[in-house]
Structure 1
Amino acid sequence: MSSIDARDVPADTTSTERLAAAGLEYRVVDLTDDASAVAFQRAVDRGFLGAEPSSEMLAQVTKTFAARRNIGVFEKSAAEAALPVATTNAWATPLTLPGGGEIDMWAISVVTVAATHRRRGIARALLEGELRAAASAGVAVAGLTVTEATIYGRYGFGSAVPVARLTVDTRRAGWGGETSPGRLEYVDRETLAADLGAVHERARRRTAGQIPGWRGRWEGYAGVAPTADRDQARGVRYLDEDGALRGVMAYTVSEANGTLRFRLDVRLLVAETTEARAALWRFALQHDLVDEVVADLRPLDDPLPWLVADSRGVKQEVHDHGWLRILDLPAALTARRYSAPLDTVLRVEDSLGFANGDWRVRIDESGDATVEVAEDGDPADIVLDVSALSSLYAGGVRAASLHAAGRISGDAAAVEALDRALVAFPVPSLDIWY
């Protein structure tokens, strides 16, 4: 969908000027220069406390980063090949919306600040710079996945797509589902990477909150990329009765302290049909010598607890994952479909100014919305900040919950009407990091 190339967007002038006043240089990094590319990637690994990357890993990551807009912050006196003291990168990508439509999203990744340069306004310059860059490119929504959940709300991001980590005691849980009519087969790593990409691209269009993956992501899951545990990667795929590929799972197994009993970690399980999903779950739970199966980033409506004989053998831990930030409110709200009619005035508070104001939102019986600046004198039915509205946007967080937490102001009837309109089916999800 996306026709925007983030690499065409220059470095934000406001962030450039702010950091220049602090003796720092903020600029787009040229990854076609080998020395700059290596320095940037080493800084990213340092920021996430990773090991020093090998030459093979540097070459692998370059394939991904080269397609993105990479920003580095440098000491003005630094040598040409010096590591940046802070990094981020971004690209425009389709975000699946409730109702099956899409909108361009400014995906933000690898946000790091060196421990030697904390509390100098660098993180603020990075995040606000990305938001201004996105807005200047006409992108209505920004998004990210985060390692720390307390940072991004101040920039207007809201936790919008919660997911579940499932831990299964296979001996207790057993299996209570039916047998799928197709067949499973093992695949080699290159085929696994290709199958993950193919099935994910078809399946992600049906669930709000999802974005496309990329070649490096699938190669990492499949063990093609030079990761530390690449030799443990395995994969199976599900073919339906007609031989069509409908599901695929990448996983690893590890032994529990020399006991000859194993834990199976699902790296990614993606399926287009209920039969494919059930077949892949059954394979994992009935795998020989496996006592525990762990799968993270699963949708909150995953059927697994209903596929086993004893649901108490399945532990579900819900946590935040996908964070969104509305920039162009009319464009964002009119892009998705809604589950109930609505006529309300939202007062949105946005300290950065992108979505600030009073907005009349009308949703018709077919689920289509119109959004206009509210007329003077129209009272606000709902008052909330842009972080709260961004949390609600994908339809996976309930307005009633935010109201009960004091994040939304409005009477009970207005909040219920908003809740009914925004809720999405199926439950939004996001099954990859970016």
Structure 2
Amino acid sequence: MTSIDSRELPADPASTDRLAAQSLTYRVVDTADRAQSERFQRAMSRGFLGAEPSDEAIAFGRPAFEARRNTGVYEASAPNAQPVATIDSWVTPLTTAGGGEIPMWAISGVTVSATHRRRGIARALLEGELRAAASAGVPIAGLTVSEATIYGRYGFGSALPMSRFTVDTRRAGWAGTAGDGRLEYVDRETLATELGAIHERARSSRAGQIPGWATRWTGIAGLSPSDTDRDKVRGIRFLDGAGAVRGAMAFTVSERGGSFRFGLDVRLLVAETQDATAALWRFALQHDLVDEVTADLRPLDDSLPWLVHDPRGVKQTVHDHGWLRILDLPTVLRSRDYSAPLDVVLRVSDPLGFAAGDWRLQIGNDGTATVAAVEGGASEVDAALDISALSILFAGGVRAAALHGAGRIAAAAPIVESLDRAFVSFPSPALDIWY
């Protein structure tokens, strides 16, 4: 993988100069300075419209905060006040199609104070992160977003759509078979441990996944002091016939309208086997007094609709979740396995210039790729697309035909079909956590 530590990189000079022209200071936070760090954490909570964090909540989030490169924007006249904008980043493995990995610059915590909107601060933050990543040799960047209309302009593409399920349990019923294994309740500390361990073992099976971190799992398990539902969180795990833990689920149950009927919300379901997945779904759908089950961040090829008697009792809503942005095109396209041979010249536009140009992509019968720049421009270009569309296509979960139909890829129909056959990834790519 990589030993790159994002915390060692200075603030991007171009963004520093751009913001200085507005009397704003752009700097990487010294995490050893507790006062400065706490101001940053409080500003981030404010930026996401969260409650004022308690001292306990600040302490809970400190390990993740200190593991990242935290960059703030400050009024030059008040350098020791809370930042008016925040962003954080770290380098993490991204699973690619075929089970390989590539270093990814993960971006999170993007906030701009309501007092400082429309001043180009978000642009300086995002472009600064991308330049920092590229200068460090990280070939791709990624983020999850609260707003879906912002990030395309920086070359990100909505590459990892996910499903949200809403199940009417009385209508849906259950049609799955019972596998060999058993379920048991676990305490929240054990739940956090099991979620993290199973997720880490399973994440190489789907493109798009990244590792979690300790406070991600403890937060999902209901151990975060700022979680208003923490006392409702329960957890179960699935053990196979040999007694090995193969799946776990964190969930809450809430009464609906004083009716003594309940809704069960799945916070996270992780599983290594189909038996584990089915057993955890069965637990949720057949839970006593539960009329509705909801679960978000499920893969598009989840088996749930096929495990019930009446699939019309399962509502599946597809939405954007994981966004990717290619920086080093040859490295990224060579990092995955492909599903069919291909030989095309791609003309790629990139508003920030990282990956612009004409590129010949050749994929052999063994699914491996070679990528070369076409010097001087190609006389024959098979497909033209921007870096956002290529970043979407790379993950393998969105059809080239859909992008072509939306005007995102310019190519003849046979080329589009060839791109579809080559780039499709099995199983469907997924990202089941926020970061």
Q: Same fold (TM over 0.5)?
A: yes
SS at match of 1:393: helix
Question: Is it true that 1:133 corresponds to 2:132 in the alignment?
Answer: yes
Match of 1:259 in 2: 259
Cα deviation per residue 1:277-318 (whole Å; 9 max; x = unaligned)? 000000000111111000000000000000011111000000
- Paired letter, 1:114: S
SS at match of 1:308: coil
For 1:46 and 1:272, the matched residues in 2 are separated by 37
SS at match of 1:87: strand
Match of 1:30 in 2: 30
For 1:124 and 1:223, the matched residues in 2 are separated by 35
Question: Is it true that 1:211 corresponds to 2:210 in the alignment?
Answer: yes
For 1:218 and 1:4, the matched residues in 2 are separated by 24
Match of 2:121 in 1: 122
Match of 1:169 in 2: 168
For 1:363 and 1:243, the matched residues in 2 are separated by 43
Tell me how far 1:375 sits from its aligned partner: 4.0
Could you list the runs of 5+ residues in structure 2 that have no partner in the other structure? none
Match of 2:382 in 1: 381
Tell me how far 1:225 sits from its aligned partner: 1.8
- Paired letter, 2:205: R
Question: Is it true that 1:236 corresponds to 2:263 in the alignment?
Answer: no
Question: Is it true that 1:8 corresponds to 2:8 in the alignment?
Answer: yes
Normalising to structure 1: TM-score of the pair? 0.99
Match of 1:314 in 2: 314
For 2:68 and 2:317, the matched residues in 1 are separated by 33
- Paired letter, 2:390: L
Could you list the runs of 5+ residues in structure 1 that have no partner in the other structure? none
Q: Is the 8 A contact 1:24 1:76 kept in 2?
A: yes
- Paired letter, 2:355: A
Match of 2:19 in 1: 19
Match of 2:412 in 1: 411
- Paired letter, 1:380: V
Tell me how far 1:422 sits from its aligned partner: 0.5
Pair 404,79 (structure 1): closer, same or farther in 2 beyond 3 Å: closer
Cα deviation per residue 1:383-434 (whole Å; 9 max; x = unaligned)? 0000110111110011110101111101111111111110000000110000
- Paired letter, 2:122: A
Cα deviation per residue 1:256-289 (whole Å; 9 max; x = unaligned)? 1211111000000000000000000000001111
Map 1:148-227; keep pairs closer than 5 Å: 148-226=147-225, 227=227
Q: How many pairs are equivalent?
A: 433
SS at match of 1:387: helix
Normalising to structure 2: TM-score of the pair? 0.99
Cα deviation per residue 1:142-165 (whole Å; 9 max; x = unaligned)? 000001000000000000000000
Tell me how far 1:134 sits from its aligned partner: 0.4
Q: CA RMSD in A?
A: 0.8
SS at match of 1:397: coil
Match of 1:99 in 2: 98
SS at match of 1:22: coil
194-203 vs 369-378, greater mean Cα deviation: 369-378
Match of 1:297 in 2: 297
For 1:180 and 1:6, the matched residues in 2 are separated by 44
Match of 2:346 in 1: 346
For 1:216 and 1:14, the matched residues in 2 are separated by 33
For 1:83 and 1:176, the matched residues in 2 are separated by 55
For 2:61 and 2:82, the matched residues in 1 are separated by 16
For 1:282 and 1:3, the matched residues in 2 are separated by 42
Tell me how far 1:79 sits from its aligned partner: 4.8
SS at match of 2:199: helix
Q: Is the 8 A contact 1:161 1:429 kept in 2?
A: yes
For 1:233 and 1:204, the matched residues in 2 are separated by 24
Tell me how far 1:38 sits from its aligned partner: 1.1
For 1:84 and 1:375, the matched residues in 2 are separated by 45
Cα deviation per residue 1:335-393 (whole Å; 9 max; x = unaligned)? 11100001000000001000000000100000100000114443110000001101111
Map 1:71-110; keep pairs closer than 5 Å: 71-80=71-80, 82-110=81-109
For 2:2 and 2:38, the matched residues in 1 are separated by 28
For 1:281 and 1:24, the matched residues in 2 are separated by 51
For 1:309 and 1:419, the matched residues in 2 are separated by 33
Tell me how far 1:2 sits from its aligned partner: 3.4
Q: Is the 8 A contact 1:345 1:378 kept in 2?
A: no
Q: Is the 8 A contact 1:173 1:313 kept in 2?
A: yes
Match of 2:67 in 1: 67
Q: How much identity, in percent, do the aligned residues show?
A: 70
For 1:117 and 1:30, the matched residues in 2 are separated by 23
For 2:337 and 2:137, the matched residues in 1 are separated by 21
Match of 1:250 in 2: 250
Match of 1:113 in 2: 112
For 2:237 and 2:207, the matched residues in 1 are separated by 24
For 2:427 and 2:421, the matched residues in 1 are separated by 14
For 2:415 and 2:177, the matched residues in 1 are separated by 44
Cα deviation per residue 1:117-150 (whole Å; 9 max; x = unaligned)? 0111100000000000000110000000001000
For 1:4 and 1:312, the matched residues in 2 are separated by 48
- Paired letter, 1:371: V
Structure 1 stretches of 4+ moved >2 Å: 375-378
Tell me how far 1:170 sits from its aligned partner: 0.5
